[in-house]
């Protein structure tokens, strides 16, 4: 009796196993189980690797990739199970194309997020000479995402067997036409990209252009750069011009300190050591002038009417150049007056002795 029952059970199981719907259902269950096991294994080993690193980049990437990996394994198992069923070719094609589209869209989103995370991580690394910085993130981020978007659209079209040859040809013709029509704008755009990447100047820098304009960099855009002059006038300069002109960056170099040159002439016969002492003390006592590098005073030239002296000193920010120049010049003038140090004005001696003597000799001969 028991033998007959077991035989009936086995017969029923055999009948169920031969059913395609049951096989499809089993494959779906197995795909869920396999996806879960793979996810747990990867998570287990990945956690060990994460502990050995000092960055949180791997944690963020794992959070981004874990769920899509699980879903991808499940969809692969689901597509296999669907293939076991007696479904018409058109319906089967529609289901497979839909699954592929879901996978492409899902992994495109994953890569979108990963690009932002990776770029943000490298931008935080120290060093101003790094290729990827905070100011260059939007360029790389948008460019990579645009390429990824176009690639995703291309694969989706291939999945649905849509012919895009005509579209690509039309896009090429339109691109050429737009390129000719907007060549100046494109020149500014590419110049702006190279300026942001190469960084000959940055926001807040004081720059002097070859044409003579000087001011603080207020905006660095993809089309133009705006500088604010000392007269509080904003000048907008196309990036194509900025990329092809000589720029003196007063805030550039390894230090943000700006050097000042104060020129003044003193009369001949003055105690030169006393002049140097007075000028040096003025710079040292000024609270805005930096102590390092130390201020210096030099006799640079024997002029026609004066001994030309030069005070070299440094300040923290270029924005204070006008103010501190006025302050130092005013103090120098007052201290020279207190110490009886004369500042001569240009003068010329004209000698008429020879001409007077000649005129007298002519008169005597008459």
Q: pLDDT tens-digit profile of 258-277?
A: 888 999 999 999 999 999 99
Say if residue 38 is in the same domain as residue 95.
Answer: yes
Convert the pLDDT of each residue in 236-260 to its tens digit. Answer: 999 999 989 999 887 776 666 788 8
Structure tokens at 196: 């942001």
| Per-residue pLDDT at 14 | 58
Say if residue 132 is in the same domain as residue 162.
Answer: yes
Last residue of a domain, one of 173, 189, 212: 173
DSSP 12-40: HHHHHHH-HHHHHHHHHHHHHHHHHHHHH
| Per-residue pLDDT at 300 | 94
Say if residue 165 is in the same domain as residue 220.
Answer: no
Residue 295 has pLDDT above 90, yes or no: yes
Say if residue 20 is in the same domain as residue 168.
Answer: yes
Say if residue 216 is in the same domain as residue 319.
Answer: no
Residue 216 has pLDDT above 80, yes or no: yes
Domain count, the chain: 3
Cα distance between residue 250 and residue 231, in whole Å: 18
The average pLDDT across 16-32 equals 71
Q: Give domain status of residue 227, yes or no.
A: yes
Higher per-residue confidence, 28 vs 285: 285
Predicted confidence band of residue 11 (pLDDT cuts 50, 70, 90) = low
Say if residue 236 is in the same domain as residue 312.
Answer: no
Say if residue 81 is in the same domain as residue 147.
Answer: yes
Domain span at residue 90 reads 2-173
Tell the residue number behind the tokens 């005073």, with chain if given: 297
Tell the residue number behind the tokens 């980049």, with chain if given: 57
Cα distance between residue 253 and residue 257, in whole Å: 9
- Of the chain, the percentage scoring pLDDT greater than 90 comes to 27
Long-range contacts of 19-23 (CB under 8 A, 24+ apart): 20/84, 20/85, 20/86, 21/85, 23/81, 23/84
Q: Give domain status of residue 300, yes or no.
A: yes
Residue 136 has pLDDT above 80, yes or no: no
Cα distance between residue 306 and residue 345, in whole Å: 8
Say if residue 45 is in the same domain as residue 168.
Answer: yes
Structure tokens at 76: 């692969």
Convert the pLDDT of each residue in 303-342 to its tens digit. Answer: 988 999 999 998 887 778 888 999 999 999 999 999 999 9
Convert the pLDDT of each residue in 61-94 to its tens digit. Answer: 878 888 898 888 888 888 887 877 777 888 888 9
Residue 42 has pLDDT above 80, yes or no: no
| Per-residue pLDDT at 351 | 63
CATH assignment at residue 268: 3.30.70.100
Residue 302 has pLDDT above 90, yes or no: yes
Say if residue 163 is in the same domain as residue 22.
Answer: yes
């Amino acid at each position: 009796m028991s033998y007959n029952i077991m035989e009936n059970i086995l017969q029923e199981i055999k009948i169920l196993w031969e059913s395609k719907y049951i096989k499809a259902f089993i494959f779906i269950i197995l795909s869920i189980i396999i996806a879960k096991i793979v996810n747990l294994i990867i998570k287990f080993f990945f956690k060990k690797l994460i502990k050995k690193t000092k960055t949180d980049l791997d944690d963020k990437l794992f959070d981004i990739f874990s769920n899509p990996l699980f879903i991808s394994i499940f969809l692969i198992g689901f597509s296999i199970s669907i293939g076991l069923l007696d479904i018409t070719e058109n319906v089967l094609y529609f289901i497979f194309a839909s699954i592929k589209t879901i996978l492409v869209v899902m992994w495109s989103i994953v890569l979108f997020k990963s690009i932002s995370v990776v770029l943000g991580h490298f931008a935080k690394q120290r060093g101003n000479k790094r290729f990827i910085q905070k100011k260059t993130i939007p360029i790389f981020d948008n460019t990579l995402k645009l390429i990824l978007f176009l690639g995703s659209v291309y694969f989706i079209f291939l999945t649905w067997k849509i012919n895009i040859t005509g579209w690509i040809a039309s896009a090429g013709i339109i691109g050429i036409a737009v390129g000719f029509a907007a060549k100046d704008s494109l020149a500014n755009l590419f110049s702006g990209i190279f300026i942001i990447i190469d960084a000959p100047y940055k926001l807040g820098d004081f720059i002097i252009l070859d044409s003579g304009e000087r001011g603080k960099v207020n905006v660095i855009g993809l089309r133009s750069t705006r500088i604010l002059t000392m007269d509080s006038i904003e000048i907008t300069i196309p990036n194509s011009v900025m990329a092809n002109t000589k720029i003196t960056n007063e805030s550039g170099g390894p230090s943000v300190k700006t050097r000042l040159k104060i020129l003044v002439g003193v009369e001949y016969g003055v105690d030169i050591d006393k002049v140097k002492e007075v000028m040096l003390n003025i710079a040292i006592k000024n609270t805005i002038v930096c102590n390092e590098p130390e201020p210096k005073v030099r006799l640079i030239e024997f002029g026609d009417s004066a001994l030309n002296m030069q005070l070299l000193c440094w300040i923290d920010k270029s924005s204070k150049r006008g103010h501190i120049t006025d302050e130092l010049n005013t103090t120098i003038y007052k201290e020279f007056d207190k110490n009886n140090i004369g500042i001569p004005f240009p003068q010329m001696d004209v000698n008429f002795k020879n001409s007077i003597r000649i005129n007298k000799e002519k008169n005597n001969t008459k």
